[in-house]
Amino acid sequence: MTRNIVQVTPFMLVPDLEAALAFMTETLGFGVDFRMSDYAYVSREGAGLRMMAAGPGNPFQPGTRRFAYYFDCRDVDALYAELKPRLDRLPAGDVHGPADKPYRQRELLVLAPDGNLIAFGQAIAAAGG
For residue 37, what are the contacts with CB-CB under 8 A and spacing of at least 6?
A: none
Give the pLDDT of residue 63: 46
Tens-binned pLDDT, residue by residue, of the chain (129 aa):
678 888 888 888 888 899 989 988 988 788 999 999 888 999 987 888 888 887 766 655 554 456 667 888 999 999 999 999 989 988 898 899 999 988 889 999 988 775 777 888 999 987 665
Chain centre distance of CA 53: 13
Q: What is the pTM of this model?
A: 0.69
Each residue of 51-62: pLDDT tens digit? Answer: 888 776 665 555
Each residue of 96-112: pLDDT tens digit? Answer: 999 998 888 999 998 87
> What domains are defined for the chain?
5-123 (3.10.180.10)
CA gap 61, 38 in Å, rounded: 18
